[in-house]
Amino acid sequence: MLALLPAGECVLQCNKGAGETCDGGHFSGRAQGKPKRAPEKPWPPAAAIRTELLKNLSDELIAPGIRAKWMAAVESGEVERRMIASRAKYPLPTEQSSVEERICMHVAFYRENFAGFNVLTDERFSGFVAACTEVYPSLSREHRKQLEKLLADGVLHTKLYEVYEPWPEKTPESCSGGLPNKIFRDLMDEVGIDAGPYNKLGVRPLEERTVKISEIRDAFTRGEVVRFNAAKILPSWLFGININKLKEMHADIADKIPVNQGIFYGYYLRCHQAISELTTKMPSWGGPHSDLVQLASRTLIPWLLDGQCGDFPSLTEVAEWEKKFHKEVFLWPYTSDVPQANWDEFYSYRAKNQTIPSSEINLRRLPNIAKHLNFAQDLGIEDEVLHRHEFLWLGSTPGGHHYDPNDNILMQLTGIIDVIVFNSNCSGLLDGPDGLITLLDDGILPWATKDMAAGKVRVPWFHLRLHPGEGVAIPSGSVHRIISRDTARIGLNAFFEPRFRQMEWPGAPGNIFVRNDKDVLATRSLWVKSLGRLWDTRRLSLGFHTVRMEVI
């Protein structure tokens, strides 16, 4: 296997031209002065070695139920044909490959969180490396120096997964930010009879502040959840929009726009497992250039996608389903545990395509909406933001408590949702073996009042009900849960990806970019920037935050 070389002096220089920037801006030109390739190592490996490697792939990546099919593909010559075809598509690294190319081959395997993964087919992998080398000269000198040192020290492959410092130590009193609890009358006005469980237990959610758009950034710097008027930054025609209208606005591409849903990429565990595990196993397999990784991306993953994975439904398909959606709401509980009977009812309609679970479309796939929006500019943070991850959210869901790495604004377009959310500085009180983050169907009230004196809770939280035109700012690291009873609901959110070493707010110690390993932040920033370039120039996607959220 090819050993990594120390970083030398062959780093591409940023030849700054019209419309190009070198220090953290978006690079619009192509890399210059790429060195000529040296002769490559023989590949594929010799037949005897290859047989053993393919068996290892079967044992380590392939679900037991389809191993016989994989071995049949090996024995029939199908895998051999895939190797030959792939080999002609893109070259292997050599000992004279540029520093940036070797860095980019590693960064293609960046895994944002335990649920994140990359779809590493030969086409996507090689496209990513090309896009990454194109943006690499636009990185700041500090950023490049940090990445090149990691490569030279032989530890870059260990900096591709997020590593957090401990959550800030807080008490229920200190993490509330001094905010009062809602009075029962106001809670009744907002959520109606759903205020009853609160009254029965004698507890109340916190009273969130409503702020101007220009004040949202300040809330992020404190890790504070705030409400805002989304109508100030959204076109009025978005309110009340439905799926068929989305299809009409993108009639020429609607059948190619995936509506991502479910818990497994490609709908089946047999597909998802191998794709996810390849991202995880790369470091222990000797790096991205190793024979096992090359065989997996050139043969196994394409084989799975061609025959063992399903496709997400298209916008065209879901628009057709919408005509027969179940009109009644699903009575997911807002504050109590989710009964199995609720799931049974939901799946009875799901089987007939009369409802859909929580589903997402990356807004970059909906250009006729995206072109009207610039949330970073609206919030006054454009100089601090590298990329906006924007999604439309569709369908009915009881939600699940989780946190996201980015500062985030969530806005309602159609239907109503309830949001259970905590200030980011409270998140450490929700983690651990008995923490709410680790539980799936558990409601906030049973968990928060367990073993507590009457009227006391383990951690304070907010409960907001959002109607069309209303929004909530959710800081990085804030635990939250979104409950949507209505299949027809449509929401929109924007995660703000910081420029390298930006938006690390000292006043928000629960912020993920404050807590994350700084070397990991260096690889993350290049990963995100390269994924944007990959989509802009090649219309390929590779990285996923979760099964439903592609990063493009």
> Which residue has better confidence, 257 or 545?
257
Q: Report d(CA 56, CA 50) in Å as an integer.
A: 10
pLDDT at 46: 83
Domain 174-254+313-514 CATH (choose: 2.40.30.20, 2.30.40.10, 3.10.20.90, 2.60.120.650): 2.60.120.650
pLDDT of residue 41: 64
Q: Over pLDDT 70: what percentage of the chain?
A: 92
pLDDT in tens, 423-471: 999 999 999 888 888 777 789 999 999 999 999 999 999 999 999 999 9
- pLDDT tier at 114 (50, 70, 90 boundaries)? confident
Q: Which of 173-182, 259-268, 367-376 has the highest mean pLDDT?
A: 367-376
Alpha-carbon span 308 to 302, nearest angstrom: 10
pLDDT score at 546: 85
End-to-end CA distance of the chain: 32
Any long-range contacts for 367-371 (C-beta under 8 Å, 24+ apart)?
367/250, 368/249, 368/250, 369/238, 369/246, 369/249
**pLDDT classification of 502: cutoffs 50, 70, 90:** very high
Overall average pLDDT of the 483-499 stretch: 97
pTM for this predicted structure: 0.90
**What number of residues does the chain have?**
552
Lowest mean pLDDT among 32-41, 91-100, 483-492, 497-506: 32-41
**Percent helix, strand and coil across the chain, each rounded to 5?**
45, 15, 45
* Packing angle, helices 122-135 and 518-538, rounded to 10: 110
Beta bridge partners of 389: 495
Non-local (6+) Cβ contacts of 208 within 8 A are: 179, 225, 226, 227, 462, 464, 472
Q: Give the residue from 350, 133, 64, 375 showing the smallest Cα distance to 238.
A: 375
Kindly tell me if the per-residue pLDDT of 501 is higher than 80. Answer: yes
| pLDDT tens, residue by residue, 232-247 | 999 999 999 999 999 9
Q: What pLDDT shows up at residue 219?
A: 97
Residues 51, 52, 56, 59, Cα dihedral to 10°: 80
**Beta strand spans in 105-190 (E):** 117-118
pLDDT of 24? 33
pLDDT of residue 542: 93
What does the block give as tokens for 339? 């009964």
Q: Which residues contact 112 (CB under 8 A, 6 or more apart)?
A: 162, 405, 524, 543, 545, 551
Q: Is the pLDDT at 35 greater than 60, yes or no?
A: no
> Is the pLDDT confidence value at 3 over 90?
no
In this predicted model, what pLDDT tens digit does every residue of 503-528 receive, in sequence order? Answer: 999 999 999 999 999 999 999 999 99
